Amino acid sequence: MNTRGLGLVLLASFLWPLISWGQVSFDRILRADQEPQNWLTYSGTTLSHRHSLLNQITAANVKNLELQWIYQARSLEKFEATALVVDGVMYTVQAPNDVIALDAATGRVFWIFSHAPEPWTKPCCGHVNRGLAILGDTLFMATIDAHLIAIDAKNGRPLWDTTVADAKSGYALTLAPLVVKDKVIVGTAGGDYGIRGFIAAYDVHTGKESWRFYAIPEPGDPGGSTWGGDSWQEGGGPVWITGSYDPALNLSYWGTGNPSPDYDGDSRPGDNLYTDSVVALDPDTGKLKWYYQFTPHDEFDWDSTQVPVLADLEWPEKDGHQKQRKVILWANRNGLFYVLDRTTGQFLLGKPFVKVNWTNGIDEQGRPMRVPGKTPSSEGTVIYPGNRGGTSWYSPSYSPRTGLFYVSTWDSYSSVFFKFPVKPGEDPRGGHRSLIPDDRLLPQHFRKDEEGYGAVRAIDPKTGETKWEFKMADVTDAGILTTASDLLFSGGRDGYFFALDARNGALLWKVAVGGVLASGPMTYAVRGKQYVAVAAGNCLFTFALR
Amino acid sequence: MRMWAVTVCTLVLAAGTLHAQETDLELGKGFFLARCAVCHGPDGNSVQGVDLGRGKFRRALSDDDMVQIIKTGIPNTAMPPIDISTRKAKYIVAYLRSMASSPATSGQGNTVRGKALFEGKGGCLSCHRVKDKGSRVGPDLTDVGAIRRSFELERSLLEPNAEVLLENRFVHVVTGDGVAITGRLLNHDAFTVQLIDSKERLLSFQKSSLKEFAFLDESQMPSYRGKLSPEELADLISYLVSLKGIETQ
């Protein structure tokens, strides 16, 4: 968008609330980048760049950012949600499953919808929620007890409530749903509890299930032979991060999680499709168009539950010419950065972006060349990256302006992986892992860099090379936002929220928010004023220029 | 009800020994609706053979017995133990005792005819909403039958000003440039006010920017006294009582 276009956007937002509201049509969602005063999906657009065309906050004035308001959650759970903003109203989730509508300019509450989850939920990693989807005047929330609930965006009242899966069997929903046309799509968490993970679509008006795609195929189906015996029945394959959608190809893309048991793969011989993969699904039918598996027969719990970033790049062909390619950019938990052709799933590039010792790279077919002996063992095996991966679910960003892919990384740390068979009543993961040093969430930090550190890395997607990095003392669970003024916002467990120059990684501004950033920053505008918001600790912080 | 915060009258309850201030009864009502009404219903008569609102129990009970049953349940029945403090259980008992003195409602109506009235002659959808139908300006009634008793619904229809819940208050504001807006209050604090207006917009204002800001003491709900026959009133109440919210599918 040019400067004039942005000016019109800001003028429109300035007139609010005197202009009438428009419903959030799917067409608006597809063109979300053209109304940057709003934030209409988990990652900003269905292409998931987490990049905004707003440019009021610049490298020159970012030092003038100041706190506008804080929303303190009535919850001690991690605050992992990315808020939505529609025409001056912010919608977010207070863990586990309270939906809150706020005045985006003041942080004052319009309404709260509370869903009390069933008491038997047993998520692996906290009663968390990562946000909402919206279509029309309806919000959609996936709940920790595996329900999908439609909520009236104007009054916070539930419209329908569908049970997606049985929470007693280990299923949970933690992701922000994705709306495609007249369907709302979710996936199931619970890969550490022997679920059979799936992605499913529901009619936005009725909540009736439209289709279901199992991440673990049955025997006889394509991919079913990659599981031994009955292991497929509890094969894992959770889907706990929001997918992306390409309207030109009419394909939705989803990252799938680890096979189960996590660390002892002896009971599930084979590649264990479609775990640790990206699957391209027809959003109308749920049919699989293609898949690519990042970590065949994973025994490290390296979920591929990352946000699929859809970009169009000039890519060198075999004849040396450059050709426009529709690609997916993917920094995987296994420590490698990938570029795939998103029309066909063809592997184009794979390169480590952190220290790895389990593979010698990727062969021409796109399969990792495993290092012998680098598997879990009864005496323990040291693996780089560690169990938490080179990155994880933390939202990356892609800036079409800089052409760089930005990702939060954990580097130079390892885990010792142990393997032992699953026994009834014992740890269902079949072994365990010990991070070196232990993975703590204390306000104090004691690691040396060689024991692991966090960094924002800017990767050139055409080469896989790191162009710059911004190091932190502690590791990071934060997502990344970039803007049209070449700013990058992120943070980490250090408890800082900061702005970098997206071109070179120079620190431009920082504020100590005290709590761990375990969410993705987002930006919006109200009445011509740009805001940047991020959740940290148990609070949502919002900043704007003074 | 609006003066309950300063009300100090003490009730001698009809069938028990507990004495309760009206604020205690409000607390008891809240606990009852949250923990008991899911099975017993807001009128306390949804379990066969039990009518808590009329003092009809399967066992003759003292207040202490009732507190005990709430906390421990009744073995081999559908009555489960409720994880609640004795203090809160006493509030519930006080509320149950007070229910017995509530006025009787109109006779049993026809729910289907009541729905037609609600959506037609009554004009209720012009302000109220049920599920995905109607206006959001007034209170949403999708689950009103689960949280309001039939006599309360009747009173609201005939005497709307007799009881206006805090969350159903309306305010009137005039913006700095002279735009007058009336809407249902959603929230306010020392500096700001949030409301939903007649166009169903969620609006937020700095109070300092307003020329006027005032609570509307009168309910925006018209009285239906004399506008509906007794049979129609019973039909309408029957329909409202049937509204129990959405069901999980």
Full 3-state SS string of chain B: CCCHHHCCCEEECCCCCCEEEHHHHHHHHHHHHHHCHHHHCCCCCCCCCCEHHHCECCCCCCHHHHHHHHHHCCCCCCCCCCCCCHHHHHHHHHHHHHHCCCCCCCCCCCHHHHHHHHHCCCCHHHCCEECCEECCCCCECCCHHHHCCHHHHHHHHHCCCCCCCHHHCEEEEECCCCCEEEEEEEEECCCEEEEEECCCCEEEEEHHHCCEEEEECCCCCCCCCCCCCHHHHHHHHHHHHHCCCCCEC
Q: Count how many residues are written for chain B.
A: 249
Whether B13 shows a pLDDT value over 70: the answer reads: no
ipTM of predicted complex: 0.89
Question: Count of CB contacts below 8 A, A vs B?
Answer: 67
Neighbours of A261 (CB within 10 A): 27
User: How far away is chain B from the Cα of A509, in angstroms, using its nearest Cα?
Assistant: 30
Q: Provide φ and ψ at B129, rounded to 5°.
A: -130, 140
Q: Which residue of B187, B200, B206 is in closest CB contact with A154?
A: B200
How does pLDDT run across A351-393, given as a tens digit for each residue? 999 999 999 999 988 999 999 999 999 999 999 999 999 999 9
Q: What is the CATH number of the domain that holds A302?
A: 2.140.10.10
Please state the domain extents for chain B. 4-99, 111-161+221-242, 166-216
CATH number of B111-161+221-242: 1.10.760.10
A266 is catalytic: no
Asked if the B166-216 domain carries CATH number 3.40.50.720, the reply is no
Cβ contacts of A108 on chain B, cutoff 8 Å: 187, 189, 192, 194, 204
Cβ contacts of B132 on chain A, cutoff 8 Å: 152, 159
* Cross-chain Cβ contact A207/B249 below 8 Å: yes
A86 → chain B, closest CA residue = B202
| Most trustworthy range by pLDDT among A75-84, B67-76, B83-92 | A75-84
* Cross-chain Cβ contact A154/B136 below 8 Å: yes
Q: Which residue of A105, A155, A163 is in closest CB contact with B248?
A: A163
B189 reaches A (C-beta below 8 A): yes
B181 reaches A (C-beta below 8 A): no
Domain count, chain A: 1
pLDDT of residue A438: 67
How does pLDDT run across A54-106, given as a tens digit for each residue? 999 999 999 999 999 999 999 999 999 999 999 999 999 999 999 999 999 99
Q: Which residue of A17, A109, A207 is in closest CB contact with B187?
A: A109
Residue A375 CB partners (closer than 8 Å, separation 6+): A299, A381, A417, A419
Q: Which of A87, A192, A264, A301 is catalytic?
A: A301
Mutate to test the interface with A, among B33, B202, B206, B208 (most CBs of A within 10 A): B202
Range of the domain at A117: 3-55+64-545
Could you list the pLDDT tens digit for every one of the 546 residues in chain A?
A: 444 444 444 544 444 443 335 699 999 999 999 999 999 999 999 999 999 999 999 999 999 999 999 999 999 999 999 999 999 999 999 999 999 999 999 999 999 999 999 988 888 889 999 999 999 999 999 999 999 999 999 999 999 999 999 999 999 999 999 999 999 999 999 999 999 999 999 999 999 999 999 999 999 999 999 999 999 999 999 999 999 999 999 999 999 999 999 999 999 999 999 999 999 999 999 999 999 999 999 999 999 999 999 999 999 988 889 999 999 999 999 999 999 999 999 999 999 999 999 999 999 889 999 999 999 999 999 999 999 999 999 999 999 999 999 999 999 999 999 998 888 777 788 888 887 776 666 778 888 898 899 999 999 999 999 999 999 999 999 999 999 999 999 999 999 999 999 999 999 999 999 999 999 999 999 999 999 999 999 999 999 999
Residue A238 CA to residue A253 CA, distance in Å, equals 14
Q: Across residues B87-109, what is the average pLDDT?
A: 77
**pTM as predicted:** 0.90
* Cross-chain Cβ contact B249/A160 below 8 Å: yes
* Cross-chain Cβ contact B129/A157 below 8 Å: yes
Residue A175 CA to residue A159 CA, distance in Å, equals 20
Asked if the B4-99 domain carries CATH number 1.10.760.10, the reply is yes
User: How far away is chain B from the Cα of A241, in angstroms, using its nearest Cα?
Assistant: 24
Q: Which residue of A108, A154, A207 is in closest CB contact with B196?
A: A154
